[in-house]
Amino acid sequence: MPASSQISPEYVADLEQRLARVEAANTALAEANARLERLLLQSRHARFGPSSEKGDPDQRNLFAEDIEVAEGQLAAAGEAADKALGKAPRQASSTSRNKGRLPEHLERVEEVIEPANTSCPCGCGEMVRVGEDRTERLDVVPARFRVLVTVRPKYMCRACKGTSHAQAPAPEFLVPRGLGTNRFAIHAVVSKFCDYLPFYRQAEIWRREGIEIDRTMLANWAGRVAFHLAPLIDALIDDLKASDHLFADETTVPVLAPRTGKTRKDYLWAVVRDQRGWGGGDPPIVVFQHSRSRSAKTAQEIFRDFQGRQLTVDGYAGYDALSDPKKTNDPWGMAYCWTHWRRRFVEYSRTTPSPICLEMTNRIAQLYRIEAEIRGKAPDVRRAVRQQLSKPIVDALRLWLEGQLDLLSSSSDLARHIRYGLKRWVGLTRFLDDGCIEMDTNAVENAIRPIPLTRKNALFAGNDDGAVTWARMASLIGTCKLNGINPQAYLEHVLDKILNGHMQDDIKSLMPWNFKPNGSKYS
């Protein structure tokens, strides 16, 4: 190093440049370390933390259940003490307090409890009944088996020497000379595709009752159900293809690869019609389709015959081909999901508190409060309110975000999350000009949620045909749930109709929304 008296300006400039490079490297290293720490925390949260941003109230109540159990024990102990001391039990305000609270369709089994003696203590004779107290309590009969014996008497004319005879025709069964009834087969299907209970677990349950029903038999019944319901599912798909303003999403499904003993990752694509947000008249539908790929080519193939041209998705690039005039002659209008964009800032703020994330979530919450007020209103009303109240918030939000980008490092995660939304701004703001568009893909996310639960319990589909059957049965049962219909009652009804010769040209009369259940709706 030269003496201080001999330090040249060039040397000082060189030192300053080297110092600046070191400081830049240190800054980049600090950002990289911070990013790695965020990734580690996010990985831990993904593995061990709650999957929902707002949390499941049932999960939060798990800790309170033990307290509630203790309160029940305390109440029972107090009642036992009062009884031992001869104290009268506390009277309820009304002896009919439970009346009317239980669904009307439930069977009522009356238990009449008469006094041991109805003679007047004064010797006047028998007392006269002048009223009664009625209390309704909910009871349950655990699932039980029974054997349905079908008897078809034969009749013959003796005078004709046996030439004249009569016998009722045998009813149509799903499995001729099979072990189970149609109702049993439907129960197995609903248990798997609605209640996430795979066939091998069902077989274990029945085995505890002494009934040996192999899972392969249950699977065979499910295949027969799918075969007979195929025209109905095809009609459901055709109805959806004629619809506009749809939602789409996809999820993975493991499928056993032939001759490998391993599973591969396939996909179920979900397409939903749900017009309840803007008071539309078409009933909701969900249709799942199986594919081996998540590519843009697969998306084009799935939506090839659809007449609708407005799709709400999560921003996945595989859908971009649908809106590209260079790749399709009739491009779709794509609306993107605000919830997915918001989720990026929520995830970031879990590991790195940021005023930008807080501001973003607060502004998006303002938009959702407006949406809550106009849900179910006519499209013109929704559009007018959005133009008046939501548009100023959205316009100001974009200017604010663009300003934040100037203050952030271009390589930071937060800048990347901001650019994610700005790049999709046209699709994110499309809801402002169309009252039939929702701000998010919650309709399809809610419909697709049972698939991961079934996937977790069933482990994998045995082959491509099994995955296709999974998709088609999930479509029919999911549509039942969207329309508030009990899948068990509905599938029993339509299977009986189809087995007994329901005309194919009148198949639309069997759609879930045309079903008139005698009992309660699905919940």
pLDDT tens column, 346-365: 988 888 888 999 999 999 99
- Select the more confidently predicted residue: 179 or 341: 341
Q: Of all residues in the chain, what percent carry a pLDDT higher than 70?
A: 79
Confidence of residue 520 (pLDDT cuts 50, 70, 90): very low
Q: Residue 467's closest CA among 260, 193, 182?
A: 193
CA distance 418 to 114: 74
Q: Residue 340's closest CA among 364, 322, 359, 311?
A: 364
Confidence of residue 274 (pLDDT cuts 50, 70, 90): very high
* Distances 417 to 38, 81, 494 between C-alpha atoms, Å: 14, 63, 49
Q: How far is CA 106 from the centre of its chain?
A: 27
pLDDT tens column, 301-323: 999 889 878 999 998 888 988 88
pLDDT at position 275, please? 93
Structure tokens at 173: 């069964």
Contact (Cβ atoms closer than 8 angstroms) between residue 441 and residue 247? yes
Q: 10 Å Cβ neighbour count for 513? A: 15
Which residues touch 430 (CB under 8 Å, ≥6 apart)? 333, 334, 335, 336, 437
Q: 10 Å Cβ neighbour count for 27? A: 11
Q: What is the bridge-based pairing of β-strands 263-273 and 285-291?
A: antiparallel
Contact (Cβ atoms closer than 8 angstroms) between residue 288 and residue 450? no
pLDDT at position 338, please? 95
Which residues touch 201 (CB under 8 Å, ≥6 apart)? 457
SS3 191: helix
Read off the amino acid at residue 173.
F
Average pLDDT over residues 382-407: 94
39-48, 290-299, 349-358, 385-394: segment of lowest average pLDDT: 39-48
Q: How far is CA 189 from the centre of its chain?
A: 17
39-53, 123-137, 200-214, 336-350: segment of lowest average pLDDT: 39-53
Q: Residue 334's closest CA among 402, 482, 434?
A: 434
- Select the more confidently predicted residue: 89 or 472: 472
5-19, 206-220, 335-349: segment of lowest average pLDDT: 5-19
Ranges of H-type helices in 245-307: 296-302
- Select the more confidently predicted residue: 184 or 31: 184
H, E, C per residue of 46-115:
HHHCCCCCCCCHHHHHHHHHHHHHHHHHHHHHHHHHHHHCCCCCCCCCCCCCCCCCCCCCCCCCCCCCCC
CA distance 364 to 390: 10
Judge if pTM exceeds 0.95.
no
Confidence of residue 294 (pLDDT cuts 50, 70, 90): confident
* Most confident segment among 140-154, 160-174, 252-266, 476-490: 476-490
Sign of torsion over alpha carbons 322, 325, 326, 330: positive
pLDDT tens column, 432-447: 999 999 999 999 988 8
pLDDT above 50: residue 169: yes
- Select the more confidently predicted residue: 391 or 122: 391
12-26, 200-214, 427-441: segment of lowest average pLDDT: 12-26
Structure tokens at 133: 């107290």
Contact (Cβ atoms closer than 8 angstroms) between residue 373 and residue 390? no
pLDDT at position 15, please? 76
Q: Residue 437's closest CA among 309, 328, 319?
A: 309
Sign of torsion over alpha carbons 234, 238, 239, 243: positive
Instruction: For the chain, give every domain's residue range.
Output: 338-440
Which residues touch 258 (CB under 8 Å, ≥6 apart)? 463
Contact (Cβ atoms closer than 8 angstroms) between residue 376 and residue 277? yes
pLDDT at position 370, please? 95
- Select the more confidently predicted residue: 223 or 99: 223
Confidence of residue 92 (pLDDT cuts 50, 70, 90): very low
